[in-house]
Amino acid sequence: MDVKREFRKAGKMGNAKSLSGQKMGSRFLPEEQAEVDKLFDALSSSDGGVATGTFSLEALKSHVKEALPPAMVARLYNGMWRVKPTDRAHGSCRSVSREQFTVFLSHLLKGSCEEKGLMVMKMISVAEGPTKTRDVQKFTEDLVASVVHVLTHRHELRGWTWRKSTVPHDSMQAMVAQLLSEMKFQDGQKFLGPQCLDQVCDQAMIEEWVFHVPLVGVFLSVVIHRGLCLLASSFDLSTLVPECHVDGGRPSESILDVLSVIYLSSHLAVEHRQCWRLLFSTQLHGQSFSQLCSLITSQGPSLIVLEDRDGYVFGGFASCSWEVKPQFQGDNKCFLFSIAPRMATYTPTGYNNHFMYLNYGQQTMPNGLGMGGQHHYFGLWVAADFGKGHSKAKPACTTYSSPQLSAQEDFQFEKMEVWGLGNLSEKDQGTNKKSILDSNPDARSLLEISGRTRHSEGLREVPKDED
């Protein structure tokens, strides 16, 4: 017996009603196809379309209820309806057949970039005639809004729900602009803003866009899996939204909203996306550089996030544990980033290895936290005199080729956070958790002479050898 032939036969005949979808190239496994067919049966029966084997927009809206915005439900339906059926007689029908339903979902979730791009194009087009960039922009706005909406509706923000109750409109627009910034026109030029809105977009452009911007496909998967409650177990949400951990569960409002978290997480290795641990926050720990040093050292990779007094949000990814020493540290996995007013990342140029710098209590070397550039001219600098910093880039930071991240070159801030990424390695867990003042007696003496408070005293763990 030809086992492979029998397996293919079983896959196609496991449910006779899905045969037409299989002919059009369904990528679903038999058990997945069964779940897709079950949803279609529910939609068609609720709509009275069992006899015709179709369902209407009203049936889809009734199934989705409040899980997705109406605009996205309409786009999903139009995308399904615009799939050309093999049954020509169905072409004039405004309802969606099983074949159209299966092909649309199969191509969107499991298809090639060409197939995904084709389905996206069907969702973008709202009228006859050429598709313009403004149509793509409106689709992207609806997509981003739908992701935030459905994750909030399904209570799947993974601990970020008690932070910002809603995602600011500016953050939505920043994410949309970031996704569109990777779109290339036929002449090779990228999307540059409002002046490009009347340019025509062809199928090849959309396919290329979907290929180069993975978040578009990921966001569409969230909409399908969580919005339609379909094949939800096949989508691991932890790769999109990290779980938020705060010791003691003390409430605070993070500088980051969920879209900012998703954006930053998408630029991290998978092992750094599962959970984020709040190591330091000015809101919880005060404005103390010694406290900052004691809480972020020996904690593995981390994200530094600041918001200056002009509302600019920016920071850097440290690929390894911070150490207090008067030398540069880190490696070429580090990067700088901007969140507001625009989302962007800036990776190493190879010009130098000035990735990370953390020093305190030295009279001959700069005291503070820095990333990129050089002494007194960092791409990102937080002075030991807490609340002050600079971002110098004329014309760009030599280490990361980043522009000025803050509104003003020399900035002031009141909000700063440091997030530890993933679980601590055995190496980091075994590191002595002494205060920076223990490991740097010069800093301790300097504070005592100046009469300044030792903020870390009483807050640090007692090392085992001192028990």
Burial track 155-185 (b if 16+ CB lie within 10 A, e otherwise): ebbbebeebbeebeeebbebbbbbbbeebeb
> Total domain count for the chain?
2
Q: How far apart are CA 3 and CA 1, in angstroms?
A: 6
278 lies in the same domain as 163: no
Express each pLDDT in 349-403 by its tens digit.
Answer: 999 999 999 999 888 899 999 999 999 999 999 999 999 999 999 999 999 999 9
211 lies in the same domain as 276: no
Choose the weakest-confidence range: 51-55, 210-214, 382-386, 451-455.
451-455
Q: Cis (ω within 30 of 0) for the bond into 341?
A: yes
204 lies in the same domain as 285: no
Residue 431 lies in a domain: no
Q: Which domain does 370 fall in, by range?
A: 256-423+441-451
Burial track 240-249 (b if 16+ CB lie within 10 A, e otherwise): bbbebebeee
E strand spans, 269-324 = 275-281, 302-308, 313-318
Assess whether pLDDT exceeds 90 at residue 59.
yes
The pTM for the full model equals 0.85
Residue 308 lies in a domain: yes
Q: Residue type at 136? A: V
Last residue of a domain, one of 181, 207, 238: 238
173 lies in the same domain as 230: yes
**pLDDT at site 42:** 94
Residue 57 lies in a domain: yes
**Burial (CB count within 10 angstroms: exposed 0-12, middle 13-18, buried 19+), residue 236:** exposed
Last residue of a domain, one of 185, 204, 238: 238
286 lies in the same domain as 233: no
Q: Could you tell me what percent of the chain has a pLDDT over 90?
A: 66
Residue 24 lies in a domain: yes
CB 123 within 8 A of CB 131: no
205 lies in the same domain as 290: no
320 lies in the same domain as 200: no
Place of tokens 């919880």: 284
* Residue in 374, 358, 280, 272 with CA at minimum distance from that of residue 322: 358
Assess whether pLDDT exceeds 80 at residue 92.
no
225 lies in the same domain as 356: no
Residue 177 lies in a domain: yes
Q: How far apart are CA 151 and CA 170, in angstroms?
A: 19
Express each pLDDT in 238-265 by its tens digit.
Answer: 889 999 999 876 667 889 999 999 999 9
260 lies in the same domain as 230: no
Residue 462 lies in a domain: no
221 lies in the same domain as 284: no
264 lies in the same domain as 404: yes
